[in-house]
Chains A and B, each alone.
Chain A
Amino acid sequence: MRSTPLLTLATLLLALGVPAAAQEREAPAARADTLIREDLPPEVAEEIVAFFNDPRTLHFSGRTRIPGERSVSGDVAVLGGPLVIAGRVEGRVVVINGSVELLPGAVVDGDLTVVGGEVTGLEGARVGGEVVTYSERLRYSHRGDHIVRRDRYRHGEREERDRDGLRRGQGSLTVSGGDYNRVEGLPVYFGPTVETGGSNPFRIRALAVYRTEEGPFLRTERWGHDVTAEQFFGGHRSFRVGAGVFSLVAPIEAWHLSDTENSLSTFLFHRDFRDHYERKGWKAFATLEPRGTPWSLTAEFRSEKHRSLPVGDPWSVFNNGDAWRPQPLVGEGRLNSVVGRAELDTRNDPDDPATGWLVRGEVEHAVDSDLERPAAFRVTLDTPPGFIPVPALEYGAFTRGLLDVRRYNRINADSRLNLRLLVGGALDGVLPPQRQHALGGEGSLPGYSLFQFDCGARFERLALRVPALGEETESFVPAYGCDRFALLQAEYRGRFDFHFDWRGHGWDDEDDEEDDDWNDGRSWDADLDWVLFMDAGRGWAGRRGRGEETAVDAGVGLLLDEFGVYAAIPLRQGGGVNLFVRLGSRF
């Protein structure tokens, strides 16, 4: 053991904060009838001014009250305010730089838009259209009866904006742990992130990586880096271009389990569900992500060198004395590739989706590749083991793709049907191990053991050199998995709604007759979700050898919020029950 367990534990706990941050994702804009926005977009400001200047609009200025018995026909615009509505407005209402108070019984038939103010009293009033408030005030000047929008940055305010932009820029120092794994141990990331202010900021993040495993303390193998600079364009952070240099240990496939799950499993149970390789190089990219839309596109060019990495000897809470699972040998050398990525996300809630689509696609085309698996020695099972030379294996150019399609459906208030189709692999050429796919294990086909469907990649052991007398053999497996794969996952989620109510009237069943009572007896509730799931998957080896038969498993699970205990059983090829825990939804 080369790392201090307590230090490792402490840093791992800190590291758990990182996924939490990464998951802090704003829900995609679902249809909302009340919208509160901080900023006033220029196009909205123009619409507000046009609305006010429209001769058909009824104008008011300053404190305005529409009495209870009064009904106003047509659109209403109020400058300054506040506007108090007790009666009815048969049209739209816009209040500029003022607030609206809706008294009980107030009615607005159209949209209610407030700029530089707020709306109160919605609970007792009725608004037929949308209620939208913008906290930012409208900057305007009078031109006779009309108002004209003032450009925020005219009249010598450019300097003020620049100063403001710099003021709003931010810098921070990051010290955090990465994903605990059997190659690096705990990678510790540290370094500054600097972002300028304004709507088109420039951002640079320069992180050094220190690994608690791999090589002597001060040798270069212990250190990595990840530096990315990005410039945003077009306002609203919708488009950005960037470039970066990196030297990282990367997982070959990361979609099976979350980072947190894999880190905890490695740290606690000596089970690393991922294989890793080293990437060093640079990249340039452009990302289009229009604000308010559910999709994004990224194009990236990468020039990098890959290298196989042996397992380290990180500490684990249980089974610390066991040997770690060997790493695969990957195609080593230079790879220049072009990558395209697209994502469509219409889920109502990314953390707990009940409806919507999530579609992710990625295509990588190797434009120049000299990757080859290095010459090695096949390790025989004899005692002592024999070493048979194996020549290097070249991989040419290739094109690969990965498509992940998920659909979330609510069946009723208490149940959901979720589906996922994941396909990927070679579109052209033969894939090097670091681009192959393996199925089996809790993250894909939990009824089967880890990487049970790897197209024979782990059938034998290789060593890069013959060990000296008495030295332990540093062994690898010759590949990672299959050239192509497909995985279909389906799950039906329901809910046990334990309800104990000693006043005798609990929540009505949804199909009971309509009832708008509160059902407010003192009661205790325990919401526990259950899940029935089924998975089917298959791998194809392409030109390399044997493929895999279709594997099917099924299982059940109990979920308390995001924590789930599952049992899975294979329906083909035989095997026992696998009982396992997940710390998030399966997909």
Chain B
Amino acid sequence: MILRTLRLPAWILLALLVCAGHAPAQARRPLAVAVGGAATGWRPLVRVQGVLDDGALRDALDSGLPLRFHFQVELWEKSLLDRLVGTHRVRLAVMQDPLEGSYTLSVGRSEQRLGSLREVEEAVEGAFASSLRPTTRGRFYYLAVLEIETLSLSDLEELQRWLRGEAGPAVQGRRSVGRAVESGLRRAFVRIIGLPERKYEARSPTFSPR
């Protein structure tokens, strides 16, 4: 067999670069989703444990950089082709007060002051609570995705807009192209200087509401 377009050194270099960016995402999974059972209406129970034990994320927080959390849990019904029943999305941000050492958890326009990282994790877990649940009989499962992104300080204004749900696509005209390009450049800068980002996925066991 002929490896027609194999350019080994370059591809290996590229692969290493890309994998280096993703390697931390392979760490111990801090996101878990279980099914609450009949007593809770078969809602998803999301647990976030040790997400802020990640040294890189904690360093970013300690440096005063905000962490942006984007959480999504989907309810799927099993069939020949699985059917998406519903989606619940939550976005929030965590920042550290450099003087007091306390943390601020922002969801929408509301803010919560917290004293420790453990409290932050508990609050984040609470914010992820969803009333998503199956309303028909069948076999279901939940899929959850948590993306954490470190933002540069210049992203703060955008962060506020994002939390208020104002971020929209530039390509479809619902957002300033200039803003989007600026945002893209800032993000490219964030990538280049190596600020951490993480993506975690979890799924529940299949369950059948009775």
Contact surface of A with B, Cβ cutoff 8 Å = 13-14, 16-22, 24-27, 30-34, 36-38, 118, 122-127, 131, 133, 135, 170-174, 176, 192-193, 195, 203, 205, 230, 232, 237, 240, 268-269, 287, 289, 291, 296, 317-318, 348, 354-355, 409-413, 417, 442, 449, 507-508, 510-512, 514-520, 522-527, 560-561, 563, 565, 575-581, 583
Tell me, rounded to whole Å, the shortest Cβ–Cβ distance linking A16 to chain B.
Answer: 5
Residue of A nearest to B187 (CB): A20
- Nearest residue in B to A122 (C-beta to C-beta)? B129
Those of B128-164 within 8 Å (CB) of chain A: 129-133, 141, 143, 164
Interface residues of B in 9-66 (CB under 8 A from A): 10-11, 14-15, 18-19, 22, 25-29, 32, 34-37, 40-41, 45, 47, 49
Residues on B with beta carbons closer than 8 Å to the beta carbon of A13: 188, 192
Cβ A318 vs Cβ B205 within 8 A: no
Q: Which residue of A33, A38, A172, A193 is within 8 Å of B132 (Cβ)?
A: A33
Could you pull out 25 A-B pairs where Cβ atoms are within 8 angstroms?
A20-B187, A21-B182, A21-B184, A26-B169, A31-B86, A33-B88, A33-B131, A34-B88, A126-B41, A173-B178, A193-B177, A193-B178, A205-B177, A230-B173, A449-B4, A507-B203, A510-B205, A514-B207, A516-B45, A516-B205, A525-B28, A527-B201, A563-B18, A579-B5, A579-B6
CB distance from B167 to the nearest CB of A (A): 7
Q: Which of B193-210 contact A (CB under 8 A)?
A: 199, 201, 203-208
Chain A, interface SS category = mixed
**A510, B10: Cα distance in complex, Å:** 40
Q: Does B184 lie within 8 Å of A24, measured CB to CB?
A: yes
- B199 pairs with A561, CB closer than 8 A: yes
Contacts of B174 in A (CB 8 A): 26, 237, 289, 291
| Cβ-closest chain B residue relative to A230 | B173
Contacts from B to A (Cβ < 8 Å): 1-7, 10-11, 14-15, 18-19, 22, 25-29, 32, 34-37, 40-41, 45, 47, 49, 74, 76, 78, 81-89, 107-110, 126, 129-133, 141, 143, 164-174, 176-189, 192, 199, 201, 203-208
List residues of chain B with CB within 8 A of the CB of A205. 177-178
Which residue on B lies nearest to A352, using beta carbons?
Answer: B145
| CA gap between A540 and B134 in the complex, in Å | 50
Distance A172 CA – B6 CA, assembled complex (angstroms):
43
- Distance (whole angstroms) from the CB of A359 to the closest CB of chain B: 16
Smallest beta-carbon distance B49→chain A, Å: 7
Contacts of B88 in A (CB 8 A): 32-34
B152 to chain A, nearest CB (A): 12
Contact status of A17 and B141, CB under 8 A, knowing A24-B170, A31-B85, A355-B84? no
> Chain A's nearest CB lies how many Å from the CB of B138?
13
Complex Cα gap A412–B76 (Å) = 9
On whether the beta carbons of B166 and A38 are closer than 8 Å, the reply is yes
Assuming the contacts A135-B109, A519-B32, A577-B3, asked whether A37 and B126 have C-beta atoms less than 8 A apart, the reply is no
Determine how close the nearest CB of chain B comes to the CB of A102; give it in whole angstroms: 10
Question: Which of A17, A33, A125 is B184 in contact with, Cβ under 8 Å?
Answer: A17
Q: Check if A172 sits within 8 Å of B178, measured CB to CB.
A: yes
Q: How far is the CB of A82 from chain B (nearest CB, A)?
A: 13
Quick one: which of A30, A127, A287 has the most chain B CB within 10 A? A30
User: Are the CB atoms of B1 and A576 closer together than 8 Å?
Assistant: yes
Given contacts A21-B184, A34-B88, A172-B176, contact A577 B170 (CB under 8 A): no
**Do B183 and A520 have beta carbons less than 8 Å apart?**
no
CA A296 to CA B204, docked complex, whole Å: 36
| CB-CB under 8 A for A520 and B166, given A20-B184, A34-B88, A410-B76 | no
B87 touches A30 (CB 8 A): yes
Contacts A413-B141, A565-B15 hold; do A31 and B180 have CB atoms under 8 A apart?
no
Q: How far does the alpha carbon of A296 sit from the alpha carbon of B173 in the complex, in Å?
A: 11
Beyond contacts A13-B192, A34-B88: 9 other A-B pairs, Cβ-Cβ < 8 A, are A17-B186, A126-B131, A176-B181, A268-B14, A514-B35, A514-B208, A561-B25, A576-B3, A579-B6
Residue among A13, A32, A127, A192 with max Cβ neighbours from chain B (10 Å): A32
**Contact present for A36 and B165 (CB under 8 Å):** yes
- Distance, CA A520 to CA B96, complexed state (A): 29
- Closest chain A residue to B86 by CB distance? A31
| Nearest-Cβ distance from residue B175 to partner chain A, whole angstroms | 8
Most buried by B among A34, A125, A578: A34
Contacts of A409 on B, CB cut-off 8 Å?
A: 81-82
- Alpha-carbon distance between A582 and B178 when the two chains are bound, in angstroms: 28
Give chain A residues whose Cβ lies under 8 Å from the Cβ of B74: 30, 348
Q: How far is the CB of B47 from chain A (nearest CB, A)?
A: 6
In the complex, which of the residues A32, A172, A442, A580 contacts B182, with contact meaning CB atoms closer than 8 Å?
A: A172
Are A289 and B82 within 8 A (Cβ)?
A: no
Contact of A581 among B14, B41, B85 (CB under 8 A): B14
Chain A residues closer than 8 Å to B181, beta-carbon distance: 17-18, 21, 172, 174, 176
| Bound-state Cα–Cα, A520 to B199, Å | 18
User: Contact between B167 and A24 (Cβ–Cβ < 8 Å)?
Assistant: yes
State whether A131 touches B131 (Cβ < 8 A).
Answer: yes
Chain A hits for B6, CB < 8 A:
579
A578 and B2 CA atoms in complex are apart in Å by 8
Counting chain B CB atoms within 10 Å of each CB, the highest count among A19, A21, A193, A449 belongs to: A21
